[in-house]
Amino acid sequence: MSFRDYLHEKAEESRHNETTAYLMFLAGTIFFVGGILETLFIYQFVNTPPEWFIFIPYYTEPHAGAVMGLSLIIGGLVLIVYGIVAGISYSRDRSWYMNELRKANSLEEALLSRKTVAVKEEVKKQKAPVKKTPKNSGK
């Protein structure tokens, strides 16, 4: 396996990991919204409004729905943050692999162009101009 093939494979792997990280972000968003909705709808059973920590509703009273809502909110936030961080990390890795791949390609193209120029010059040297002598027409 050449270095170019290795870089190409790693760039593809990073692209796949980046997509997976963004899907993780979307799953976290769905969990987060579901947890908020669950916590807000528990109001019907608990009959007390939820307390708020910044933008996260929660209940201090023990209730199965409240625990599930808070778990979904916390899990969703973790997935959102990890999805964003992992996506950015994999994106940076992929850009590094692509830059290295461009460098390897440009180096290879430069070497090939020098080789073809040298071969063309060698072919020109081997072909010596042939002088044509006029044939005697009557003798």
Give the helix, strand, coil percentages of the chain, each rounded to 5: 75, 5, 20
Q: Which of 4-13, 38-47, 115-124 has the lowest mean pLDDT?
A: 115-124
Taking the C-alpha atoms of residue 68 and residue 115, their distance in angstroms, rounded to an integer, is 68
* Residues in Cβ contact with 35 at an 8 Å cutoff, skipping those fewer than 6 apart: 68, 69, 70, 71, 72, 73, 74, 75, 76
Q: Check residue 12 and give its pLDDT.
A: 85
- Locate tokens 């729905």: which residue? 65
Sequence spans of domains, the chain? 3-126
Single-letter amino acid code for the residue at 38: E
- Per-residue pLDDT, averaged over 75-101, amounts to 89
Residue 26 — very low, low, confident or very high, per pLDDT cuts 50/70/90? Answer: very high
Residues forming a β-bridge with 58: 51
* Threshold 0.75, pTM exceeds: no
pLDDT surpasses 90 at 90: no
Residue 124 — very low, low, confident or very high, per pLDDT cuts 50/70/90? Answer: low
Single-letter amino acid code for the residue at 25: F
Backbone angles phi, psi at 57, to 5 degrees: -80, 145
Closest CA to 91 of 25, 4, 14: 14
